[in-house]
């Protein structure tokens, strides 16, 4: 579009619309409205962008535009407009995160197109009964008393799909029209709440009924029944609101089959699921179910925030402290914080649930910005398992071994009691480092400032994905058979456990072994049915699982998360290890936790051992307050990157020199990023700190600083990763 001066503004024929485009463009675009009806905010349109077309969303209706020769925006036939609240939320998120204006819509429409509306599944009911009724046919007709799809009828009746198919062909089962929402008023089978749980549920339900925004911290130890509380709130919402919707955000949704099974058992229907691993068909159906209001309950990962809700009445962020809620690629945002903002836009309650709340959430509760609802006891009044620290300075490990004698003895005792154990190590592969013992050469990734991780007979970079075979000789000294692995990974622990316990039944729970929800469901089934004695797993085993016969949790490297220079390192370690501890002793049998560490004197481990969360939080908050770190200050990270290292460094220095001097705001850097090279791009980092909102400052600074065309400046508001 060619810009003209304000004096040359012209009134276009008909209305002009400003459109949010789901592409990485620096601004929204103006178009001439070509619909027969007046335009409205939230309307979805087909628009040309350059030589290609895509779909966009109307965010403003204008009379004039500072551009001439406007192209046409055609409304999408049969596609209702998005709610005006959704349009306002998208605009707010883009402003807050300093992202491209269309990034939130791009999250909702990954292919820059409204997905085609899927055909509704055919639902069958009982037609003309045949003269001859076999046992299988009788079972199908009993199941069809409540109309369902052919596949669901086969599952209900416990027969093959062929039996149902023949009944359809004969007219004994006929297509019927059903109310898609009728299933939501079916009987629920919810657990009876304790006094603490009921108090929490009542408080949230009151906010739902009043249609008022209020953030809650649902604070309870692992196993205290936080899920049961918000299940009751959802049930009350479904019964009291004709078309009210609930969003439940969970971390790593593809890895929580137990949650989905639990929901279906208690509500009698499946929620709409949204995450990266669903198929295109599932994605299309989910998008339309949410958009048309048919999806009353949505459970999803962080991107579910940007679904086109019609009447959102409740937002739940389960395990709100989980690091996976932070999106660190392309469109950078924090799912927890955006979840609270989404609830505020819809004027409904936001429930943040955690056994180990983030310090930001905890501080908001302390300042009474959030209402804290505490659940003090585990289900059945089971006690949290005792945590024992294994001092690896005193209890020396054998060379190339990683299981201490204490851990081995406890595993042996658990096996003798026919109980299950979890060996926790948050690092997959065989080893994180391959070194030549002849010359000290370290096998690094050529594209990233990182070592290659050993995975069996190959090496892999966990940042760019590069893989290469195990080297025959050292490229530095050309010696053969001099390579040695350093450090443990889950696969190396497998070999060690098999050496110590040769007849044990092992299961591996890491992303190399578990790729799909189906594989996760199978792993869960094997553990629940006690076909596994020992589970060796990463953080995917730290949350969301209930295994009554798992009584021992052994943490192999308790210090691992403290080695990255991250202001949140101790907080993340405390949260993760508390979650791991919560996996042990969740049934009637008592549990025990062992944590191997070289730093048992650290306040982190002392507070962890005593389950003294309050003391740990006070200690961490005091350190944060001293340095004005979150939650006592705001931060925005700027990462300058490019292919030419000298140009990147020079550009970062110029950017720092152009930083305006403003009271209460300081700029640190530039300095090489901790990961100074990533995917062949060199990286320098600046950090903006202040006690006031920083977006306006950074936006003005970047707009008034010339950046070379070959250089990119990545902006991360509220950074959580410092690589």
What are 3-21's pLDDT values in tens digits? 333 333 343 445 899 999 9
Q: What's the pLDDT score for residue 92?
A: 97
- Closest residue by Cα to residue 720 from 542, 572, 558, 538: 572
Residue 583 pLDDT greater than 80, yes or no: yes
Query: Could you give the count of Cα atoms lying within 13 Å of 269 in the half-sphere of its Cβ?
Result: 21
pLDDT at 519: 84
**C-alpha–C-alpha distance, residues 19 and 49, integer Å:** 11
Q: How confident is the model at residue 375 (pLDDT cuts 50, 70, 90)?
A: very high
Average pLDDT rounded to a whole number, residues 368-388: 86
Q: What is the mean pLDDT of the segment spanning 562-590?
A: 86
* Positive or negative torsion for Cα 48, 53, 58, 59: negative
| Exposed/middle/buried for residue 412 (C-beta within 10 Å: 0-12, 13-18, 19+) | middle
How far, in Å, CA of 493 to CA of 423, rounded?
9
Proportion of the chain above pLDDT 90, given as a percent: 64
Q: Would you say residue 130 has pLDDT above 90?
A: no
| 314-323: burial string, b at 16+ Cβ within 10 Å, e else | bbbbbbbbbb
What residues pair up with 659 in beta bridges, in sequence order?
A: none
CA angle 452, 457, 460 (to 5 degrees): 25
> Can you list the domains of the chain with their CATH numbers?
2-108 (3.40.1440.60), 124-177 (no CATH), 191-380 (3.40.50.300), 382-429+488-625 (3.40.50.300), 634-717 (3.30.70.600)
Question: Residue 658: what pLDDT?
Answer: 95
Q: Whole-number mean pLDDT of the chain?
A: 89
Rounded CA-CA distance 480/167 in Å is 70
User: Please, are residues 313 and 211 in contact by the beta-carbon 8 Å criterion?
Assistant: yes
Burial bucket for residue 480 (CB in 10 Å: 0-12, 13-18, 19+): exposed
Q: Is 522 helix (H, G, I), strand (E, B) or coil?
A: helix
Residue 182 has pLDDT above 50, yes or no: no
Query: What is the model's pLDDT at position 586?
Result: 81
Q: What's 533's DSSP letter?
A: S
Q: What is the pLDDT of residues 287-330, one digit of tens each?
A: 999 999 999 999 999 999 999 999 999 999 999 999 999 998 88
Burial of 688 (0-12, 13-18, 19+ CB in 10 A): buried
pLDDT at 577 over 80: yes
Given a contact cutoff of 8 angstroms between Cβ atoms, the answer to whether 167 and 209 are in contact is no
Residues 148-167, mean pLDDT to the nearest whole number: 86
pLDDT tens-digit profile of 591-628? 999 999 999 999 999 999 999 999 999 999 999 999 99
Tell me: the pLDDT tens digits for 450-489?
999 999 889 999 999 999 998 889 989 999 989 999 889 9
Q: What angle (nearest 5°) sits at the alpha carbon of residue 103, between those of residues 101 and 109?
A: 125
Residue 351 CB partners (closer than 8 Å, separation 6+): 204, 215, 216, 218, 230, 233, 314, 315, 316, 317
| Helix/strand/coil for 143 | helix
pLDDT on residue 250: 92
What pLDDT is recorded for position 1?
A: 40
Strand partners, 433: 486
Instruction: Looking at mean pLDDT, say which of 159-168, 190-199, 342-351, 424-433 comes out highest.
Output: 342-351
Query: Quick one: pLDDT at residue 253?
Result: 55
Contact partners, residue 344, CB within 8 Å, separation at least 6: 213, 350
Across the range 406-412, mean pLDDT stands at 96
- Looking at residue 580, its pLDDT comes to 92
Mean pLDDT confidence for 118-131: 81
Sign for the pseudo-dihedral over CA of 551, 555, 558, 563: negative
Using DSSP's 3-state secondary structure scheme, residue 19 falls into: strand
298 or 524, greater pLDDT: 298
pLDDT of 380 reads 63
pLDDT at residue 183 greater than cutoff 70: no
Per-residue confidence (pLDDT) for residue 564, from 0 to 100:
65
Task: Express as a percent the part of the chain with pLDDT over 70.
Answer: 95
The H or E element that residue 335 is part of is helix 335-346
Q: Is the pLDDT confidence value at 226 over 60?
A: yes
Once rounded to an integer, what is the mean pLDDT over residues 616-643? 94
Q: Quick one: pLDDT at residue 179?
A: 59
Q: Residue 681: pLDDT band by 50, 70, 90 thresholds?
A: very high
Q: Is the pLDDT of residue 279 over 70?
A: yes
Q: What is the pLDDT of residues 488-508, one digit of tens each?
A: 999 999 999 999 999 999 999
pLDDT tens, residue by residue, 53-103: 999 999 999 988 888 889 999 999 989 999 999 999 999 999 999 999 999
């Amino acid at each position: 579009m060619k810009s003209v001066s304000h004096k040359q503004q012209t009134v276009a024929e008909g209305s002009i619309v400003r459109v949010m485009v789901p592409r990485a463009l620096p601004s929204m675009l103006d178009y001439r409205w070509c619909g027969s009806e007046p335009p409205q905010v939230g309307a979805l349109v087909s628009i040309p962008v350059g030589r290609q077309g895509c779909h966009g969303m109307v965010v403003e209706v204008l009379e004039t535009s500072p551009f001439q020769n406007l192209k046409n925006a055609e409304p999408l036939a049969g596609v209702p407009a998005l709610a005006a609240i959704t349009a306002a939320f998208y605009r707010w998120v883009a402003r807050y995160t300093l992202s491209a204006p269309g990034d939130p819509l791009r999250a909702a429409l990954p292919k820059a197109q409204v997905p085609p509306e899927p055909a509704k599944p055919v639902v069958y009911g009982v037609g003309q009964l045949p003269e001859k009724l076999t046992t299988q046919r009788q079972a199908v007709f009993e199941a069809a008393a409540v109309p369902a799809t052919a596949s669901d009828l086969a599952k209900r009746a416990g027969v093959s799909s062929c039996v149902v198919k023949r009944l359809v062909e004969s007219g004994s089962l006929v297509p019927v029209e059903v109310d898609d929402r009728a299933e939501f008023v079916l009987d629920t089978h919810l657990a009876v709440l304790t006094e603490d749980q009921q108090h929490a549920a009542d408080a949230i339900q009151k906010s739902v009924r009043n249609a008022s925004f209020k953030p809650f911290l649902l604070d309870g130890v692992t196993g205290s029944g936080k899920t049961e509380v918000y299940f009751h709130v959802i049930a009350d919402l479904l019964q009291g609101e004709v078309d009210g919707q609930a969003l439940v955000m969970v971390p790593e949704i593809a890895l929580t089959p137990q949650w989905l099974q639990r929901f279906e058992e208690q509500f009698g229907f499946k929620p709409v699921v949204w995450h990266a691993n669903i198929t295109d068909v599932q994605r299309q159906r989910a998008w339309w179910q949410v958009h048309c209001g048919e999806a009353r309950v949505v459970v999803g990962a962080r991107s579910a925030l940007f679904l086109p809700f019609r009447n959102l009445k409740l937002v739940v962020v389960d395990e709100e402290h989980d690091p996976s809620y932070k999106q660190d690629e392309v469109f950078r945002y924090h799912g927890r914080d955006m979840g609270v903002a989404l609830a505020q836009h819809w004027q409904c309650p936001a429930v943040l649930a955690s056994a180990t709340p983030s310090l930001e959430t905890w501080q908001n509760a302390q300042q009474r910005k959030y209402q804290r609802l505490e659940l003090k006891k585990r289900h059945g009044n089971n006690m949290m398992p005792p945590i024992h620290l294994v001092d690896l300075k005193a209890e020396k490990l054998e060379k190339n071994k990683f299981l201490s004698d204490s851990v081995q003895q406890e595993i042996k005792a658990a096996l003798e009691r026919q109980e299950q154990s979890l060996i926790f190590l948050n690092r997959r592969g065989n080893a994180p480092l391959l070194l030549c013992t002849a010359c000290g050469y370290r096998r690094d990734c050529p594209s990233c400032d990182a070592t290659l991780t050993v995975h069996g007979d190959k090496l892999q970079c966990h940042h760019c994905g590069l893989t290469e075979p195990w080297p025959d000789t050292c490229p530095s000294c050309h010696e053969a058979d001099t390579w040695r692995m350093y450090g443990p990974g889950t696969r190396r622990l497998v070999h060690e456990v098999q050496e110590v316990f040769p007849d044990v039944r092992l299961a591996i729970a890491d992303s190399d072994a578990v790729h799909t929800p189906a594989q996760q469901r199978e792993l869960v089934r094997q553990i629940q049915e006690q076909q596994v004695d020992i589970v060796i797993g990463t953080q995917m085993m730290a949350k969301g699982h209930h295994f009554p016969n798992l009584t021992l949790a052994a943490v192999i490297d308790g210090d691992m998360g403290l080695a990255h220079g991250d202001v949140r390192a101790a907080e993340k370690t405390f949260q993760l290890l508390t979650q791991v501890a919560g996996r042990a002793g969740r049934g009637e049998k008592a549990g025990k936790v062992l944590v191997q560490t070289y730093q048992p004197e650290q306040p982190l481990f002392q507070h962890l051992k005593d389950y003294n969360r309050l003391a740990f939080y006070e200690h961490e908050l005091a350190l944060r307050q001293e340095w004005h770190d979150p939650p006592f200050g705001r931060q925005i990270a700027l990462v300058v990157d490019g292919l030419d290292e000298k140009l990147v460094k020079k550009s970062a220095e110029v950017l720092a020199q152009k930083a305006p001097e403003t009271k209460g705001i300081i700029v640190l850097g530039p300095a090489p990023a901790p990961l100074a090279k990533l995917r062949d791009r060199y990286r320098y980092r600046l950090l903006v700190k202040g006690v006031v909102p920083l977006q306006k400052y950074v936006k003005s600074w970047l707009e008034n600083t010339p950046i070379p065309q070959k250089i990119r400046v990545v902006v991360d508001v509220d950074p959580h990763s410092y690589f």
